[in-house]
Amino acid sequence: MKITFTTALLAIASLTASAHAYAQSPVRANIPFQFTVGQKVLPAGQYTISNVSDRVIELCNREKQTRMFISMTATGYVSQQPRVLVFREYGDQYFLHEVRGGLGEFSLDVSPSKLEKETQRQAALAHARQQNAEIALNALKK
């Protein structure tokens, strides 16, 4: 009986968490540079960012017919932080690193890809400085 109750309680908690994630409104960002997510380079432009599930977001640029699903990791509570996309910048290459606010209560991080790690290594060998670029997230008007 205890096992059934515990299982039911866990199932309810999972559904509640998923429903909370789905309830978040999509946001929009105007990204003025091409950027990389995983191994894929995405063009500059207007993107809509939506929660698909608890730890998956969708990036969509209808103009350029680009759509990508990204698995992310929740890292920290963001109630006092600005709603931004954070990119790691190595010279003229940008890699999506974090979605902060805008899609819920937590900051979501993208794990560095092999391409980003290699770019980071080459930048370190060239003594190039790594910087972050932040792009504001805006709520979509209904």
Q: Are 76 and 107 in contact (CB under 8 A)?
A: yes
pLDDT tens for each residue of 58-94: 999 999 899 999 998 888 766 666 788 999 999 889 9
Q: Are 57 and 70 in contact (CB under 8 A)?
A: yes
Q: Which residues of 106-131 are buried (b: 16+ CB within 10 A; e: fewer)?
A: bbbbbeebebbeebbeebeeeeeeee
How many helices (H) and strands (E) would you count in the chain? 2, 12
Residue with the larger pLDDT of the pair 73 and 36: 36
- Whole-number Å distance between alpha carbons of 92 and 33: 9
Residue 15, pLDDT > 60, answer: no
Can you list the alpha helix ranges (DSSP code H) found in the chain?
Answer: 2-23, 114-125
At 2, the pLDDT band (50, 70, 90 cuts) reads very low
Supply the pLDDT for residue 23.
Answer: 45
Nearest one of 14, 60, 69, 13 to 38, comparing CA atoms: 69
Mean pLDDT of 95-111: 81
Tokens of 125: 């060998």
Supply the pLDDT for residue 41.
Answer: 94
